[in-house]
């Protein structure tokens, strides 16, 4: 299953790669990697025309990953990035502070001063 996903990803066929990832997610629902990768591909393909719908879809998948495996690496970063992309800076910072064991709380607090009215 990995070879077709990687090949689709290499030739920039993100929709096809997402399809393969979702097939893998269905085959083993306990493995969050395919779901996470699908959401990551969605988030990285955002254009201004359809940004809100894509970000909402990616966020929903990231949230599912977090529910299945709360300690999944980078999940807080990508959930915060979704909030950041739509201008929800307070929520982005809150996600990093509350769930970002891989990120510096100090950097989040600096970002909070820079991006929010607090």
The tens digit of pLDDT for each residue in 63-101 reads 999 999 988 888 888 898 898 888 888 888 888 777 755
Q: Considering its fold, how many domains does the chain have in total? A: 1
* CA distance linking residue 14 with residue 83, whole number of Å: 22
At residue 1, the pLDDT reads 47
Q: Name the maximum alpha-carbon separation found in the chain.
A: 48
Which pTM value belongs to this model?
0.62
- HSE of 21 in the Cβ direction (CA atoms, 13 Å)? 22
Report H helices in the chain.
2-10, 14-27, 33-44, 51-68, 75-85, 89-99, 105-115
| Residue 35: Cβ within 10 Å count | 22
Read off the CATH number of the domain in which 107 is found. 1.25.40.10
Structural domain range at position 89: 2-115
């Amino acid at each position: 299953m990995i070879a077709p996903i990687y090949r689709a990803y290499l030739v920039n066929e993100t929709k096809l790669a997402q399809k393969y990832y979702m097939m893998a997610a269905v085959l083993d629902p306990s493995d969050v990697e395919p779901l996470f990768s699908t959401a990551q591909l969605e988030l990285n393909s955002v254009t201004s025309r359809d940004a809100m719908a894509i970000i909402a879809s990616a966020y929903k998948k990231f949230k599912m990953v977090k529910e299945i495996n709360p300690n999944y690496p980078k999940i807080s970063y990508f959930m915060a990035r979704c909030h950041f992309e739509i201008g929800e800076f307070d929520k982005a910072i809150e996600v990093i502070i509350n769930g970002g064991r891989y990120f510096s709380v100090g950097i989040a607090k600096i970002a909070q001063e820079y991006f929010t009215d607090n």
